[in-house]
Copies of this chain bind each other. A is one copy, B any other.
Amino acid sequence: MTEMDTRERQVLDRIERARRRRPVVKDERVTLAHGAGGKATHTLIEAVFVDAFRNPALEAMEDGATLDVAGGRAVFTTDSFVVSPLFFPGGDIGDLAVNGTVNDLAVCGARPKYLSAGFVLEEGLPVDDLRRIVASMAAAAEAAGVAIVTGDTKVVQRGKGDGCYVITAGIGVLERDVSLGTATVRPGDAVLVSGPIGEHGVTIMLARGELDIEASLTSDTAPLHEPVSALLDAVPGGVRVLRDATRGGVATVLNEIADASGFGIVVDEAAVPVRPMVTGACELLGIDPLYVACEGRFVAVVDGDQADTALDALRAHPLGADAALVGRIKDDPPGIVLLKTAFGGTRIVDMLVGDPLPRIC
Protein backbone atom coordinates (compact mmCIF):
# COMPACT_ATOMS: atom_id res chain seq x y z
CA MET A 1 0.00 0.00 0.00
CA THR A 2 1.39 3.32 -1.08
CA GLU A 3 -0.32 5.08 1.79
CA MET A 4 1.44 2.87 4.32
CA ASP A 5 4.78 3.32 2.56
CA THR A 6 4.42 7.06 2.79
CA ARG A 7 3.55 6.88 6.46
CA GLU A 8 6.41 4.50 7.23
CA ARG A 9 8.83 6.76 5.42
CA GLN A 10 7.55 9.71 7.42
CA VAL A 11 8.01 7.80 10.66
CA LEU A 12 11.53 6.74 9.77
CA ASP A 13 12.42 10.26 8.71
CA ARG A 14 11.10 11.63 11.97
CA ILE A 15 13.16 9.16 13.98
CA GLU A 16 16.27 9.96 12.02
CA ARG A 17 15.72 13.67 12.54
CA ALA A 18 15.20 13.13 16.28
CA ARG A 19 18.44 11.14 16.52
CA ARG A 20 20.48 13.78 14.77
CA ARG A 21 18.92 16.59 16.69
CA ARG A 22 20.92 18.85 18.89
CA PRO A 23 18.57 21.73 19.49
CA VAL A 24 19.60 25.00 17.87
CA VAL A 25 17.63 28.22 17.80
CA LYS A 26 17.79 29.38 14.20
CA ASP A 27 15.61 32.45 14.60
CA GLU A 28 17.26 35.78 15.06
CA ARG A 29 14.34 37.18 16.95
CA VAL A 30 11.91 35.90 19.50
CA THR A 31 8.55 35.04 17.97
CA LEU A 32 5.23 34.24 19.56
CA ALA A 33 5.92 30.58 18.80
CA HIS A 34 8.76 30.68 21.33
CA GLY A 35 6.13 31.17 24.00
CA ALA A 36 3.61 28.68 22.69
CA GLY A 37 4.84 25.67 24.64
CA GLY A 38 5.51 23.70 21.47
CA LYS A 39 8.52 22.95 19.38
CA ALA A 40 9.97 26.43 19.32
CA THR A 41 9.58 26.75 23.10
CA HIS A 42 11.31 23.42 23.65
CA THR A 43 14.14 24.33 21.33
CA LEU A 44 14.56 27.68 23.05
CA ILE A 45 14.57 26.05 26.48
CA GLU A 46 17.03 23.32 25.53
CA ALA A 47 19.35 25.41 23.38
CA VAL A 48 19.37 28.58 25.44
CA PHE A 49 18.31 27.99 29.04
CA VAL A 50 19.26 24.42 29.90
CA ASP A 51 22.51 24.79 28.05
CA ALA A 52 23.41 27.83 30.15
CA PHE A 53 22.08 26.79 33.56
CA ARG A 54 22.95 23.08 33.31
CA ASN A 55 22.28 21.15 36.56
CA PRO A 56 20.62 17.79 37.31
CA ALA A 57 17.43 19.24 38.81
CA LEU A 58 16.85 21.43 35.77
CA GLU A 59 17.91 18.85 33.20
CA ALA A 60 15.26 16.44 34.47
CA MET A 61 12.92 18.75 32.51
CA GLU A 62 9.94 18.00 34.70
CA ASP A 63 7.38 20.59 35.69
CA GLY A 64 9.19 21.35 38.92
CA ALA A 65 12.57 20.75 40.46
CA THR A 66 12.94 18.30 43.33
CA LEU A 67 15.27 19.58 45.97
CA ASP A 68 16.82 18.53 49.21
CA VAL A 69 16.17 21.17 51.80
CA ALA A 70 18.43 20.04 54.58
CA GLY A 71 17.46 21.08 58.07
CA GLY A 72 13.93 21.88 57.13
CA ARG A 73 13.84 25.67 57.63
CA ALA A 74 13.79 27.49 54.35
CA VAL A 75 13.37 31.05 53.13
CA PHE A 76 11.36 31.71 49.98
CA THR A 77 11.34 34.97 48.04
CA THR A 78 10.56 36.41 44.62
CA ASP A 79 11.46 39.49 42.64
CA SER A 80 10.47 40.78 39.20
CA PHE A 81 12.89 42.71 37.01
CA VAL A 82 11.79 45.23 34.40
CA VAL A 83 14.92 47.39 34.24
CA SER A 84 15.39 49.60 31.20
CA PRO A 85 17.80 49.47 29.43
CA LEU A 86 18.38 45.72 29.57
CA PHE A 87 22.15 46.22 29.45
CA PHE A 88 24.03 48.88 31.41
CA PRO A 89 27.56 49.53 32.67
CA GLY A 90 28.41 46.92 35.28
CA GLY A 91 25.59 44.50 34.53
CA ASP A 92 22.32 43.64 32.85
CA ILE A 93 18.83 42.46 33.73
CA GLY A 94 20.19 38.91 34.03
CA ASP A 95 22.73 39.30 36.81
CA LEU A 96 20.47 41.87 38.43
CA ALA A 97 17.69 39.24 38.61
CA VAL A 98 19.98 36.62 40.12
CA ASN A 99 21.70 38.96 42.56
CA GLY A 100 18.42 40.56 43.58
CA THR A 101 16.92 37.28 44.71
CA VAL A 102 20.19 36.04 46.19
CA ASN A 103 20.30 39.26 48.23
CA ASP A 104 16.72 38.94 49.44
CA LEU A 105 17.61 35.49 50.75
CA ALA A 106 20.91 36.67 52.24
CA VAL A 107 19.35 39.52 54.20
CA CYS A 108 16.89 37.02 55.67
CA GLY A 109 19.92 35.20 57.07
CA ALA A 110 19.62 32.28 54.67
CA ARG A 111 22.17 30.61 52.46
CA PRO A 112 20.83 31.05 48.91
CA LYS A 113 20.50 27.66 47.20
CA TYR A 114 17.91 27.38 44.43
CA LEU A 115 16.48 29.85 41.95
CA SER A 116 13.63 29.74 39.48
CA ALA A 117 13.63 31.97 36.42
CA GLY A 118 10.54 33.19 34.57
CA PHE A 119 10.84 35.14 31.33
CA VAL A 120 8.23 37.38 29.75
CA LEU A 121 9.68 38.10 26.32
CA GLU A 122 8.45 40.60 23.77
CA GLU A 123 8.08 39.32 20.24
CA GLY A 124 11.03 40.69 18.30
CA LEU A 125 13.63 40.51 21.08
CA PRO A 126 16.94 39.58 19.45
CA VAL A 127 17.77 36.02 20.49
CA ASP A 128 21.36 37.13 20.94
CA ASP A 129 20.20 39.58 23.59
CA LEU A 130 18.42 36.75 25.36
CA ARG A 131 21.57 34.65 25.18
CA ARG A 132 23.61 37.45 26.74
CA ILE A 133 21.07 37.82 29.54
CA VAL A 134 20.98 34.10 30.19
CA ALA A 135 24.77 33.83 30.14
CA SER A 136 24.95 36.64 32.63
CA MET A 137 22.41 34.87 34.86
CA ALA A 138 24.42 31.66 34.69
CA ALA A 139 27.61 33.48 35.66
CA ALA A 140 25.89 35.32 38.51
CA ALA A 141 24.35 32.08 39.76
CA GLU A 142 27.72 30.39 39.76
CA ALA A 143 29.32 33.32 41.57
CA ALA A 144 26.61 33.20 44.22
CA GLY A 145 26.69 29.43 44.57
CA VAL A 146 23.06 28.95 43.56
CA ALA A 147 21.47 26.67 40.97
CA ILE A 148 18.71 27.83 38.63
CA VAL A 149 16.58 24.70 38.85
CA THR A 150 13.29 25.51 37.16
CA GLY A 151 11.89 28.08 34.79
CA ASP A 152 9.20 29.24 32.42
CA THR A 153 8.98 31.36 29.29
CA LYS A 154 6.13 33.36 27.85
CA VAL A 155 6.13 35.58 24.79
CA VAL A 156 3.85 38.58 24.32
CA GLN A 157 3.18 40.52 21.12
CA ARG A 158 5.21 43.56 20.08
CA GLY A 159 4.12 46.53 22.12
CA LYS A 160 2.92 44.39 25.03
CA GLY A 161 6.28 44.14 26.75
CA ASP A 162 9.71 45.75 26.53
CA GLY A 163 12.21 43.23 25.28
CA CYS A 164 12.56 41.05 28.33
CA TYR A 165 11.24 40.88 31.86
CA VAL A 166 12.85 38.40 34.22
CA ILE A 167 11.18 37.07 37.34
CA THR A 168 13.25 35.08 39.80
CA ALA A 169 12.12 33.25 42.91
CA GLY A 170 14.58 31.74 45.35
CA ILE A 171 14.90 29.26 48.16
CA GLY A 172 17.55 29.55 50.83
CA VAL A 173 18.21 27.44 53.89
CA LEU A 174 18.57 28.82 57.39
CA GLU A 175 21.75 27.28 58.72
CA ARG A 176 22.26 29.78 61.54
CA ASP A 177 20.06 30.24 64.53
CA VAL A 178 19.40 33.89 63.66
CA SER A 179 16.41 35.90 64.71
CA LEU A 180 16.32 38.91 62.42
CA GLY A 181 13.45 41.32 62.19
CA THR A 182 12.30 44.80 63.05
CA ALA A 183 10.83 43.52 66.34
CA THR A 184 14.37 43.00 67.70
CA VAL A 185 15.47 46.62 67.15
CA ARG A 186 16.08 48.72 70.28
CA PRO A 187 17.32 52.22 71.13
CA GLY A 188 21.09 52.53 71.06
CA ASP A 189 21.46 50.14 68.12
CA ALA A 190 23.76 51.29 65.34
CA VAL A 191 22.72 51.66 61.70
CA LEU A 192 25.32 50.61 59.14
CA VAL A 193 25.38 50.75 55.38
CA SER A 194 27.65 48.29 53.59
CA GLY A 195 29.07 50.70 51.00
CA PRO A 196 28.60 53.84 48.90
CA ILE A 197 24.96 54.31 47.94
CA GLY A 198 23.03 55.16 44.77
CA GLU A 199 25.44 53.85 42.14
CA HIS A 200 23.00 51.46 40.50
CA GLY A 201 20.25 54.03 40.09
CA VAL A 202 22.50 56.75 38.77
CA THR A 203 24.19 54.33 36.35
CA ILE A 204 20.77 53.42 34.91
CA MET A 205 19.84 57.10 34.51
CA LEU A 206 23.10 57.77 32.71
CA ALA A 207 22.66 54.68 30.52
CA ARG A 208 19.31 56.07 29.42
CA GLY A 209 21.04 59.21 28.22
CA GLU A 210 18.84 61.40 30.36
CA LEU A 211 21.81 63.40 31.53
CA ASP A 212 24.27 64.81 29.09
CA ILE A 213 27.30 63.92 31.17
CA GLU A 214 30.07 61.42 30.83
CA ALA A 215 30.79 59.35 33.89
CA SER A 216 32.63 56.13 34.51
CA LEU A 217 30.08 54.91 37.02
CA THR A 218 29.01 51.28 37.01
CA SER A 219 26.10 49.55 38.71
CA ASP A 220 26.85 48.16 42.17
CA THR A 221 24.94 44.93 41.37
CA ALA A 222 26.56 42.15 43.42
CA PRO A 223 25.63 39.13 45.52
CA LEU A 224 25.63 40.04 49.21
CA HIS A 225 25.61 36.62 50.85
CA GLU A 226 29.33 36.76 51.71
CA PRO A 227 29.47 40.14 53.45
CA VAL A 228 26.21 39.22 55.21
CA SER A 229 27.77 35.95 56.37
CA ALA A 230 30.86 37.77 57.56
CA LEU A 231 28.69 40.14 59.58
CA LEU A 232 26.56 37.36 61.11
CA ASP A 233 29.71 35.43 62.04
CA ALA A 234 31.40 38.48 63.58
CA VAL A 235 28.56 39.54 65.87
CA PRO A 236 26.41 36.46 66.48
CA GLY A 237 23.20 37.56 68.17
CA GLY A 238 24.12 41.19 67.58
CA VAL A 239 22.46 41.69 64.20
CA ARG A 240 18.86 42.95 64.44
CA VAL A 241 17.75 43.67 60.88
CA LEU A 242 19.26 43.37 57.41
CA ARG A 243 17.73 44.91 54.30
CA ASP A 244 19.14 45.37 50.84
CA ALA A 245 18.54 48.95 49.72
CA THR A 246 16.95 48.56 46.29
CA ARG A 247 13.95 50.55 44.98
CA GLY A 248 13.37 53.57 47.17
CA GLY A 249 16.96 53.46 48.36
CA VAL A 250 18.37 53.65 51.88
CA ALA A 251 15.76 56.23 52.90
CA THR A 252 12.94 53.79 52.22
CA VAL A 253 14.62 50.94 54.08
CA LEU A 254 15.20 53.19 57.10
CA ASN A 255 11.56 54.27 57.02
CA GLU A 256 10.43 50.66 56.88
CA ILE A 257 12.54 49.87 59.94
CA ALA A 258 11.44 52.98 61.86
CA ASP A 259 7.81 52.41 61.00
CA ALA A 260 7.77 48.71 61.87
CA SER A 261 9.85 49.01 65.06
CA GLY A 262 8.15 52.16 66.32
CA PHE A 263 11.54 53.73 67.14
CA GLY A 264 13.18 56.74 65.60
CA ILE A 265 16.33 56.67 63.50
CA VAL A 266 18.74 59.61 63.51
CA VAL A 267 21.09 59.59 60.53
CA ASP A 268 24.25 61.67 60.21
CA GLU A 269 24.27 62.87 56.60
CA ALA A 270 28.03 63.43 56.60
CA ALA A 271 28.61 59.78 57.53
CA VAL A 272 26.63 58.34 54.60
CA PRO A 273 29.09 57.11 51.96
CA VAL A 274 28.27 58.59 48.54
CA ARG A 275 30.74 58.80 45.66
CA PRO A 276 31.22 62.36 44.34
CA MET A 277 29.98 61.31 40.89
CA VAL A 278 26.73 60.08 42.40
CA THR A 279 26.34 63.28 44.43
CA GLY A 280 26.95 65.35 41.31
CA ALA A 281 24.54 63.42 39.12
CA CYS A 282 21.86 63.52 41.83
CA GLU A 283 22.24 67.31 42.08
CA LEU A 284 21.70 67.63 38.34
CA LEU A 285 18.68 65.31 38.51
CA GLY A 286 17.27 67.07 41.57
CA ILE A 287 17.06 63.85 43.58
CA ASP A 288 18.47 62.79 46.93
CA PRO A 289 20.99 59.90 46.83
CA LEU A 290 19.25 58.48 49.90
CA TYR A 291 16.33 57.56 47.61
CA VAL A 292 18.39 56.08 44.80
CA ALA A 293 18.42 52.30 44.37
CA CYS A 294 21.48 50.19 45.11
CA GLU A 295 21.67 46.56 43.98
CA GLY A 296 24.70 45.52 45.99
CA ARG A 297 24.38 47.39 49.28
CA PHE A 298 22.54 46.64 52.45
CA VAL A 299 21.51 48.37 55.63
CA ALA A 300 22.23 46.59 58.91
CA VAL A 301 20.94 47.47 62.36
CA VAL A 302 23.32 46.01 64.93
CA ASP A 303 23.77 46.10 68.68
CA GLY A 304 25.34 49.50 69.41
CA ASP A 305 28.04 47.93 71.63
CA GLN A 306 29.17 45.66 68.81
CA ALA A 307 29.11 48.26 66.03
CA ASP A 308 32.91 48.47 65.71
CA THR A 309 33.31 44.69 65.44
CA ALA A 310 30.50 44.61 62.89
CA LEU A 311 32.10 47.38 60.83
CA ASP A 312 35.50 45.69 60.90
CA ALA A 313 33.97 42.45 59.65
CA LEU A 314 32.17 44.22 56.81
CA ARG A 315 35.23 46.22 55.80
CA ALA A 316 37.30 43.04 55.59
CA HIS A 317 35.18 41.96 52.59
CA PRO A 318 35.66 43.73 49.21
CA LEU A 319 31.90 44.38 48.95
CA GLY A 320 31.92 46.04 52.36
CA ALA A 321 35.22 47.92 52.12
CA ASP A 322 33.52 51.31 52.46
CA ALA A 323 30.93 50.28 55.05
CA ALA A 324 29.99 53.04 57.47
CA LEU A 325 28.09 53.67 60.67
CA VAL A 326 25.50 56.20 59.55
CA GLY A 327 23.04 56.50 62.41
CA ARG A 328 21.46 55.32 65.64
CA ILE A 329 18.13 53.96 66.77
CA LYS A 330 16.46 56.38 69.24
CA ASP A 331 13.35 56.40 71.38
CA ASP A 332 12.27 59.65 69.76
CA PRO A 333 10.73 60.58 67.45
CA PRO A 334 8.82 57.27 67.25
CA GLY A 335 8.55 55.83 63.76
CA ILE A 336 10.41 58.74 62.16
CA VAL A 337 13.74 58.98 60.32
CA LEU A 338 15.59 62.23 61.01
CA LEU A 339 18.64 63.41 59.10
CA LYS A 340 21.25 65.63 60.73
CA THR A 341 22.40 67.58 57.71
CA ALA A 342 25.96 68.55 56.97
CA PHE A 343 25.01 72.14 57.83
CA GLY A 344 23.85 71.31 61.36
CA GLY A 345 20.12 71.29 60.62
CA THR A 346 17.69 68.42 60.99
CA ARG A 347 15.05 67.25 58.56
CA ILE A 348 12.60 64.40 58.30
CA VAL A 349 13.48 61.76 55.72
CA ASP A 350 10.12 60.48 54.58
CA MET A 351 9.41 57.39 52.54
CA LEU A 352 9.76 57.82 48.79
CA VAL A 353 6.74 59.45 47.17
CA GLY A 354 6.13 59.01 43.45
CA ASP A 355 8.77 57.46 41.23
CA PRO A 356 11.65 59.70 40.19
CA LEU A 357 13.46 56.73 38.64
CA PRO A 358 11.01 54.26 37.10
CA ARG A 359 12.15 50.79 36.06
CA ILE A 360 15.45 50.93 37.86
CA CYS A 361 15.36 47.20 38.56
Q: Is the CB of B358 within 8 A of A80?
A: no
Q: Is the CB of A37 within 8 A of B252?
A: yes
Cβ-neighbour of A76 out of B116, B118, B352 (below 8 A): B116
Q: Which of A201-237 contact B (CB under 8 A)?
A: none
Q: Is the CB of B63 within 8 A of A108?
A: yes
A66 to B149, CA, bound (A): 20
Number of copies of this chain in the oligomer?
2
Give the segment of A9-17, A48-56, A128-136, A322-330 that binds chain B.
A9-17
What does the 1/0 interface line of A290-301 toward B look like (CB < 8 Å)? 010100000000
Any B CB within 8 A of the CB of A285: no
Q: Which of A53-74 contact B (CB under 8 A)?
A: 60-74
Q: Is the CB of A10 within 8 A of B358?
A: no
Any B CB within 8 A of the CB of A24: no
Any B CB within 8 A of the CB of A353: yes
Range for the number of chain A residues in contact with chain B: 35 or more
Chain A interface, DSSP helix/strand/loop, else mixed: mixed
A156 to B165, CA, bound (A): 10
29 examples of A-B residue contacts, CB within 8 angstroms: A11-B333, A33-B353, A35-B247, A36-B247, A36-B248, A37-B293, A38-B248, A38-B351, A38-B352, A38-B355, A39-B350, A39-B352, A63-B108, A65-B77, A66-B174, A68-B72, A68-B73, A74-B171, A76-B116, A76-B150, A78-B118, A78-B167, A82-B160, A118-B167, A118-B169, A120-B167, A154-B359, A157-B358, A160-B161
> What are the 10 A-B residue pairs with the smallest beta carbon separation, nearest first?
A37-B247, A38-B352, A64-B77, A36-B355, A169-B169, A78-B116, A37-B248, A63-B104, A167-B167, A80-B118
